[in-house]
Structure 1
């Protein structure tokens, strides 16, 4: 006897005549996958994005790039009482040229697993083709474990066993804790269906920490047959016996919403199609789609790191909110936590505050650099989409939130001076290239600069989001924004307003040294430190007050004098051309930084964010490839050599083309890193920094 489980408008068949609820509700606290992804994929058009972590499909986002629906999907091999988790194997991941599809080779205990992982070309689905060579024939059990994170939270999920095709069960997961107070952006009607092609399969589900399939395996009680678990932190598994030396099968992950109004025949037809399609044909179709995009760009097609960077950057864009790019595919991903726990389920399900979203948000600073990277490869259309997104998301007062979701909804709300200035800089670049008309963005530009001028030369947070004061890096962005406003108003607006912007730009440029140039400090005199925090609103580089270094653990010293803390961020002035590259104080500071916040790894030179940095694995800051990139741009402007810095960046690329945040456990890929690499490559070709304004020169700076 069968009965139908009706989920909104979607009907499925429950596998068993009677539902067997798993014990252990609501399950243990949920965890996210590790941050350093080995691959990141999507098609040019479908709103499904997958990651590869530990050699398996990790977090999958749908139908928004900032909304994760799964944690991971992987194979466990059970032989008697022993079991092997493929996530523990050694992995080699490679990207298929011209696409964001991947092949993975995993090996361990004399077993070799080959996987081809790709989006379906015309469906919202992921396809994984497995070939497992056990080395010898024998009776084993394969267990496909699936961890859902529906609607961006490990809690509140429901998973159930349903009938699939070919007399096999499937797993359906959805948000089971729906109370009506969730924002539409959480897409609580989203559902996912997990299936595979192995015949004579069975299925079970449970709550993590008690009755989940992994817990059953660990306690040697697998399989305990349950058909439903949730709402809570749940897990499901498909399993089947195999005996051959080599086993081949396919795994599919389908994503849809109730609005699809699918009935059982349509659902089964889609699944049957996914299980039969030739994956090579799907990948070739994606390659053709990406080629239509790539063929319009200007880049070295033989440079696989450049191609990877372009594709990864484009893949960070939402498919509906065009111009909105997340920082990276990681949730929440602190670099000293391998597997981050759910921070607050109640806030997560309502998208309140930081919650679980981590790097899957939009930072205006990162977004500006991405837009410039697209300009560097001649993708002006995407850069214009970014400008339009900035226009849509600006606060009425004139500034932008510290970070936002792709729909522009604010998350963190601190004022960062550079994040108000850089959208103006982008508009100036676009207008100079005749890609947009200033009249369309004039109100945005004027409100942004008015707000920034009213706030003064200091910022609540600098670009590392940790301290307030006068930051050479943030102030450099602000002055560049003022010069951008000067150019726009001089040529297309009001000359009086333009003169006002120029006066403030010159005042803040002059003030930089009186506010920030350290005297009688740890490294002598006439050098720039990371930030001048001030004392009672006074900025005095001769009075070396203490600064708290954030992200320290309780055993580490966290307060240092401001003159002890070096930061490469001052090169913002050099690489944008708003000070002469041979300015003695900038040259001296660069020499000091080269001696104190860089490391020679033999294959290249990497830079720390700043002295005593703790944002990294084990609370020790790592070396950031984008900082080596900024050092290259400064070297180009100064006529110096830069090969060791470039070597460091290129060594940081994985074989699959992913470039991370830093050389410790950290988010990978990071969009800012990939954007920086594209800008570096363009700057090397041009023999000048791509960030420079052509209309700012000695005449304007006098």
Structure 2
């Protein structure tokens, strides 16, 4: 056959798209010899990842059934789907797909080879109407090598005289082998000459379509089912070359499914046996949600590099996304990774959490921060900076230390990481680059809670290594920030507060109250996207459950009036009763979710309820001593999972739209599973078992709730230029170069000079003794830069208010008229 005869028409095919994010199963072998991860949705295989957890190599692999009278039926669209695991806690699956017209049933067992990068499916085809001979069954594979649907080449070939279907792209190859003889096979361009198009129009494959080059391609092969052979094994092997992929597939095929299953199940069984027994059987589904969550965490971790774990093996609204969406959620978010590590610790696998901490050390940037998200090799994908992600690894190290998993000798190896992280936080906080939802900048209660808790934790570690001055500075900075949380993020006397009969509430994001000087010269380098400073909060108030982080991280008591007031408004605005129980929105006016008509998020949309937030709320209820309510919310969290037990990022809250697969209370088209939600689930189970919030850092509880520690100073920085401060406090000037501060409290009738001193974090600071200055006075100051030998030539003014209460009122009591 000549090349012109063998190449399929229609190059390069239609624009490539990914597939549904509604996964019903995820899995991998617990073996470094098998760097392969797989996902299941709608009864078929979806994205398969190789050789790294961030490298999707397929769109999907399903079956098509044809028969007499031009009968055409696609397994994923024209059948009912049921899923179960082969064994509790093991992500090996049994799938049953039955034709909606009752003509046939397909049963599958799915898992991966522990010895090599291969995915195995044992497929049993049963004719429910007529005989097997009445039907033809085809495998349909859409390669997307690697993280891209375009630019792939596919062909029908053989390896060592064994027929196989091949594809290659971007240095990676795959080969599909079958235990039964292949019948007719083809390679074509999606939407033009692929097997789906051929079978749908003619119920046969074109024998001339043997190769499709450099495009969006698909492979199709007829599986040789017969009355005597109604069971087949499909093996999809991967490698750096077609020959390597084929060799892996052939070896796995010769080994057989049962041998592969025995090894796969044994590895998972041994790992699950080591975990803390927090089992919670669900009589309605037969699932053990705890074991599902532990399996989800383990199935999202990397073998090389060890310690990495992605946020989700899915691409939100993937069916509407193309090659321009390279990452989806199969990227590493440092925040999600620390939350995942917390889930491992709660489940009893501290070793994995330590491995995660080691990975975090390798991807930390030289200045101490962590990128917003990264590929597994640490290369940033998005380039924003979020301060909570810079602080979370400190909390993980301290949690492991306090639990006895990080003794001093081992902790010492992480000290450079902790020092750099603490330095970055104190030099660039408290304003966040973006909030934890990667959206807005300002003062976020969640980020503030993480930053402050991390500074206190780091201080304890500095003390361990004989660095008391650094520890004192971190605690003093934490005190200063903690004391101003309400000033920055608590709104009082607004229309919203009056409407709900409360004094005030924490808002989602407070904006900076300093000037908007962005010059990095001689001062702190501003955080990316720092908003212009203003003197008060915006009139329109946005609330979020994020404020409950102040309790979760030990800075405020659960019954603090500010917290109770905020819970009132959170529940009034953000709580939604759904069939599984109450869930919460991220914040009012959230735009991340489907549109009202159910069409996918495309940069705009309407935010939907997040099951994760039910877990966070349950932890708050437990901290408040309301265990029954926490258990009720646990049920709502678990009730948000799909039939496979996977917890989605969001659930649909509108009217049922079956055509779009959107049913009220069930998963939306966003990511599923969300690993963070499963980690929260595990931590909640552990917290309920322990009778206390499992991951609450103790330092803030002791310092601020029990001892009511207050700050002795206010801080002025170039990235945080305060314009007023309460009387009775010292003013701490903090800059990044040696300076003499020239200052006066009587409009230069007299003046003083105070020289800065450098601390352990490269910060040059001096405390101006103005605690005795009368309210109403003004402090004026400027700088002489000692190394540069010049004056700043700008005077800065701070008004001394009548005290802390007056300062809060002045900045944040917004009247109804103003709003």
Short-chain TM bin: 0.7 to 0.9
Q: What is aligned with 2:675? A: 671
What does residue range 530-679 of structure 1 map to in structure 2 within 5 Å?
Answer: 530-534=508-512, 537=516, 543-545=537-539, 561=540, 563=541, 565-618=542-595, 619-640=605-626, 641-663=629-651, 664-679=668-683
Mapped to 1, the partners of 2:547 and 2:533 lie a distance apart of: 17
C-alpha contact (below 8 Å) 2:225/2:232 kept by paired residues? no
Q: Any idea what SS the aligned residue of 1:76 has? A: strand
The one of 108, 114, 124 aligned to 2:107: 114
Q: What is aligned with 2:236? A: 253
Q: CA deviation at 1:449?
A: 1.9
C-alpha contact (below 8 Å) 1:99/1:283 kept by paired residues? no
Q: CA deviation at 1:599?
A: 1.4
Q: Any idea what SS the aligned residue of 1:150 has? A: coil
Residues 135-191 of structure 1: CA deviation (Å, up to 9, x unaligned): 2125322221110011221111111111258x763111111xxxxxxxxxxxx3321
Relative to structure 1, the CA distance from residue 197 to residue 589 in structure 2 (aligned partners, 3 Å threshold; closer, same or farther) is same
How many corresponding residue pairs?
Answer: 639
Relative to structure 1, the CA distance from residue 291 to residue 242 in structure 2 (aligned partners, 3 Å threshold; closer, same or farther) is closer
Q: CA deviation at 1:478?
A: 0.7
Residues 548-594 of structure 1: CA deviation (Å, up to 9, x unaligned): xxxxxxxxxxxxx2x1x210011111012122222110111012212
| Larger RCO, structure (CA 8 Å, separation 6 or more) | 1
Q: Indicate yes or no: 2:434 matched with 1:443.
A: no
Q: What is aligned with 1:5? A: none
Q: CA deviation at 1:446?
A: 1.9
Mapped to 1, the partners of 2:271 and 2:85 lie a distance apart of: 18
Q: CA deviation at 1:696?
A: 3.9
Q: CA deviation at 1:278?
A: 4.7
Q: What is aligned with 2:769? A: none
Farther-moved stretch of structure 1 (522-531 vs 567-576): 522-531
Q: What is aligned with 1:490? A: 463
Relative to structure 1, the CA distance from residue 302 to residue 633 in structure 2 (aligned partners, 3 Å threshold; closer, same or farther) is closer
C-alpha contact (below 8 Å) 1:169/1:202 kept by paired residues? no
The one of 683, 687, 691 aligned to 1:683: 687
Farther-moved stretch of structure 1 (515-524 vs 387-396): 515-524
Q: CA deviation at 1:386?
A: 1.0
Q: CA deviation at 1:273?
A: 4.8
Residues 401-460 of structure 1: CA deviation (Å, up to 9, x unaligned): 000011111111111010001011111112223323332122222221222222231112
Relative to structure 1, the CA distance from residue 262 to residue 164 in structure 2 (aligned partners, 3 Å threshold; closer, same or farther) is closer
Q: Indicate yes or no: 2:188 matched with 1:206.
A: yes
Mapped to 1, the partners of 2:464 and 2:255 lie a distance apart of: 57
Farther-moved stretch of structure 1 (300-309 vs 619-628): 300-309
Q: What is aligned with 2:221? A: 238
TM-score by length of 2: 0.75
C-alpha contact (below 8 Å) 2:159/2:243 kept by paired residues? no
Q: What is aligned with 2:151? A: 156
In structure 2, the gaps of 5 or more residues are: 282-287, 498-502, 517-531, 596-604, 652-667, 710-819
C-alpha contact (below 8 Å) 1:603/1:644 kept by paired residues? no
Q: What is aligned with 2:755? A: none
Q: Indicate yes or no: 2:96 matched with 1:123.
A: no
Mapped to 2, the partners of 1:615 and 1:672 lie a distance apart of: 17
Q: What is aligned with 1:365? A: 335
Q: What is aligned with 1:41? A: 27
Q: Indicate yes or no: 2:138 matched with 1:146.
A: no
Residues 219-248 of structure 1: CA deviation (Å, up to 9, x unaligned): 437422211111111111102576649932
Q: CA deviation at 1:534?
A: 4.3
Q: What is aligned with 1:341? A: 321
Q: What is aligned with 1:550? A: none
Q: Indicate yes or no: 2:7 matched with 1:21.
A: yes
Relative to structure 1, the CA distance from residue 220 to residue 602 in structure 2 (aligned partners, 3 Å threshold; closer, same or farther) is closer
Mapped to 1, the partners of 2:677 and 2:703 lie a distance apart of: 34
Mapped to 2, the partners of 1:326 and 1:678 lie a distance apart of: 17
C-alpha contact (below 8 Å) 1:93/1:103 kept by paired residues? yes
C-alpha contact (below 8 Å) 2:543/2:588 kept by paired residues? yes
Q: What is aligned with 1:500? A: 473
Q: What is aligned with 1:328? A: 312
Farther-moved stretch of structure 1 (451-460 vs 55-64): 451-460
Mapped to 1, the partners of 2:359 and 2:86 lie a distance apart of: 31
Mapped to 2, the partners of 1:504 and 1:271 lie a distance apart of: 59
Relative to structure 1, the CA distance from residue 324 to residue 149 in structure 2 (aligned partners, 3 Å threshold; closer, same or farther) is same
Q: Indicate yes or no: 2:298 matched with 1:298.
A: no
Q: What is aligned with 1:551? A: none
Q: What is aligned with 2:523? A: none
Relative to structure 1, the CA distance from residue 397 to residue 358 in structure 2 (aligned partners, 3 Å threshold; closer, same or farther) is same
Residues 67-106 of structure 1: CA deviation (Å, up to 9, x unaligned): 0111111111112423100011221111222421101111
Farther-moved stretch of structure 1 (533-542 vs 438-447): 533-542
Q: Indicate yes or no: 2:380 matched with 1:410.
A: yes
C-alpha contact (below 8 Å) 2:331/2:375 kept by paired residues? yes
Q: CA deviation at 1:52?
A: 0.4
Farther-moved stretch of structure 1 (657-666 vs 675-684): 657-666
Farther-moved stretch of structure 1 (319-328 vs 485-494): 485-494
Q: Any idea what SS the aligned residue of 1:574 has? A: helix
Q: CA deviation at 1:262?
A: 4.8
Relative to structure 1, the CA distance from residue 127 to residue 241 in structure 2 (aligned partners, 3 Å threshold; closer, same or farther) is closer
The one of 450, 462, 471 aligned to 2:435: 462
What does residue range 380-399 of structure 1 map to in structure 2 within 5 Å?
Answer: 380-399=350-369
Farther-moved stretch of structure 1 (663-672 vs 484-493): 484-493
Q: What is aligned with 1:54? A: 42
Q: Any idea what SS the aligned residue of 2:698 has? A: coil
C-alpha contact (below 8 Å) 1:170/1:203 kept by paired residues? no
Q: Indicate yes or no: 2:504 matched with 1:526.
A: yes
Relative to structure 1, the CA distance from residue 646 to residue 428 in structure 2 (aligned partners, 3 Å threshold; closer, same or farther) is same
C-alpha contact (below 8 Å) 1:128/1:252 kept by paired residues? yes
Residues 27-82 of structure 1: CA deviation (Å, up to 9, x unaligned): 21101011110110111112111100111011100110110111111111112423
Q: Any idea what SS the aligned residue of 2:319 has? A: coil
Q: CA deviation at 1:654?
A: 2.7
The one of 60, 74, 92 aligned to 1:85: 74
Q: Any idea what SS the aligned residue of 2:176 has? A: strand
C-alpha contact (below 8 Å) 2:278/2:686 kept by paired residues? no
Q: What is aligned with 2:198? A: 216
